[in-house]
Chains A and B, each alone.
Chain A
């Protein structure tokens, strides 16, 4: 394939991303690609499509023994606390410190609960009894940190869940949704994502009631969806919280 023309590249690119070239063809194709970096993006996109095939096989559960073997081999190679590792941990330290997340979550929790408290006061007109109620809510409150990724990287978010199943999603530093898009909350129950409200962050922090009350909810997630929301999630979650995990408070 030396001196391969553009037509030859076009002819072989599908076989390349499927892994169906011979070793010699593959080397020559990659040599062409190295000399034409402008083609890289096209191949990566095609490769992403071919890579979807990896998700199609029936699911198989790997054995616990395999996990033990893999991790034992990895740990046997771990050096005794390298400096690079410590430096990186320092850089990521703010994320790794549970107190950071707990503090951010607590601040947002207080903000959310104050709003809630005000509503309760108006409804019942008895500040003392409502404060008592609120104290009870706080005692029954559980906060679950959300893992952020993609566009939400850098945001802090938590799900606050009351004993009665009511939930509030709090988040800070979420970027605005792209034009024509919205943030959508999903509650996962019995393995099925249920739409649980739309929101658009305005300002640094946002507290949104989750519109599905699910005592047996397994997780809460947020995706970016077309304006108006979707019946089923159409993109990967950018915030995820597993409600089966231990609460932060």
Chain B
């Protein structure tokens, strides 16, 4: 990280993405340093192994670099924008793969490699992660399973219904209830949704 000029560390993500959109690679490097861990963690969860996760992160950040000008702050934070790029790329790759492992396999492979960071931002994001994990724990297992199959494994709702032997309407209903329950978790505690 030593190659990022110190002055960039003072800028907000929105400023950095504006500079990146204008071709500033140092600003983009700073964004990478702030968000690569979250991006890689998501990629690893989706792809299930290091090389595929690294390829996904590399392609996603390169896409972010090329489309930095399309970022709109009113649509959400830079982190969410980057994670959406990783997520969409992951879904595409999973769906194009000739064979894919079940989510359970990947979940088992995704052992925790967490390292305590000294950076406040990481600490803060860890707090947010804990809140999100707590929210997910509050879901009934059958709702959580469907959300995870959809979000992390790239299955369509129709495929999930076939996979689990459930009517399509039940899958849609569990998706609806699962997302609502997550929102209710934050609302009930007067917590703002992590940005």
Binding site for B on A (CB under 8 A): 11-12, 14-15, 17-22, 25, 44, 46, 48-63, 66-67, 69-71, 73-75, 77-79, 82, 84-85, 87-89, 92, 95-98, 101, 145, 147-149, 153, 188, 191-193, 218-221, 226, 232-237, 240-242, 244-246
The yes or no answer to B100 lying at the interface (CB within 8 A) is: no
Question: In whole angstroms, what is the CA distance A241 to B121 when docked?
Answer: 9
Mostly, the A contact residues are mixed
Question: In whole angstroms, what is the CA distance A134 to B195 when docked?
Answer: 42
Query: Which 6 A-B residue pairs are closest in the complex by CB-CB distance?
Result: A219-B120, A57-B45, A20-B150, A62-B40, A58-B112, A149-B12
Q: Which of A149, A192, A219, A234 contacts B191 (CB 8 A)?
A: A234
Q: Which of B18, B112, B156 contacts A59 (CB 8 A)?
A: B112
A contact residues around B175 at 8 Å (CB)? 14-15, 18, 20
Contact A52 B7, CB 8 Å, known A77-B65, A218-B123, A236-B194: no
Binding site for A on B (CB under 8 A): 6-15, 18-19, 21-25, 28-29, 32-33, 36-42, 44-45, 53-54, 57-58, 61-62, 65-66, 75-76, 80, 83-84, 86-88, 91, 110-121, 123-129, 132-133, 135-136, 147-148, 150-152, 154-158, 160, 172, 175-176, 179, 182-183, 189-195
A71 near B29 (CB under 8 angstroms)?
Answer: yes
B contact residues around A53 at 8 Å (CB)? 132, 136, 147-148, 151-152
Q: Known contacts A61-B40, A77-B66; can you find 15 more A-B pairs with CB under 8 A?
A: A14-B175, A18-B147, A19-B91, A20-B175, A48-B193, A49-B182, A51-B84, A52-B194, A56-B132, A69-B58, A73-B58, A77-B65, A89-B24, A218-B118, A234-B191
B contact residues around A246 at 8 Å (CB)? 6
B123 near A188 (CB under 8 angstroms)?
Answer: yes
B132 near A221 (CB under 8 angstroms)?
Answer: no
B124 near A75 (CB under 8 angstroms)?
Answer: no
B113 near A56 (CB under 8 angstroms)?
Answer: no
A50 near B179 (CB under 8 angstroms)?
Answer: yes
B contact residues around A44 at 8 Å (CB)? 75-76
B22 near A62 (CB under 8 angstroms)?
Answer: no
A55 near B125 (CB under 8 angstroms)?
Answer: yes
Question: In whole angstroms, what is the CA distance A15 to B159 when docked?
Answer: 12
A236 near B113 (CB under 8 angstroms)?
Answer: no
B160 near A54 (CB under 8 angstroms)?
Answer: no
B15 near A15 (CB under 8 angstroms)?
Answer: no
B172 near A15 (CB under 8 angstroms)?
Answer: yes
Q: Which of A55, A58, A87, A153 contacts B132 (CB 8 A)?
A: A55
Q: How far is the CB of B99 from chain A (nearest CB, A)?
A: 19
Q: Which of A54, A71, A82 contacts B83 (CB 8 A)?
A: A54
Question: In whole angstroms, what is the CA distance A63 to B25 when docked?
Answer: 19
Contact A59 B128, CB 8 Å, known A14-B176, A52-B194, A246-B6: no
Contact A233 B53, CB 8 Å, known A55-B38, A56-B132: no
A57 near B87 (CB under 8 angstroms)?
Answer: no
B157 near A54 (CB under 8 angstroms)?
Answer: no
Q: How far is the CB of A184 from chain B (nearest CB, A)?
A: 13
Contact A71 B80, CB 8 Å, known A89-B19, A235-B192: no
Q: How far is the CB of A44 from chain B (nearest CB, A)?
A: 6
Contact A66 B14, CB 8 Å, known A49-B183, A84-B22, A85-B22: no
B65 near A22 (CB under 8 angstroms)?
Answer: no
Q: How far is the CB of A13 from chain B (nearest CB, A)?
A: 8
B contact residues around A71 at 8 Å (CB)? 25, 28-29, 32
Question: In whole angstroms, what is the CA distance A219 to B116 when docked?
Answer: 14
9 contacts between A and B (CB under 8 A): A49-B179, A51-B76, A54-B38, A54-B87, A60-B41, A67-B33, A70-B58, A71-B32, A218-B118
Q: How far is the CB of A91 from chain B (nearest CB, A)?
A: 9
A contact residues around B110 at 8 Å (CB)? 57-58, 60
Q: How far is the CB of A15 from chain B (nearest CB, A)?
A: 4
A contact residues around B115 at 8 Å (CB)? 59, 61
A48 near B80 (CB under 8 angstroms)?
Answer: yes
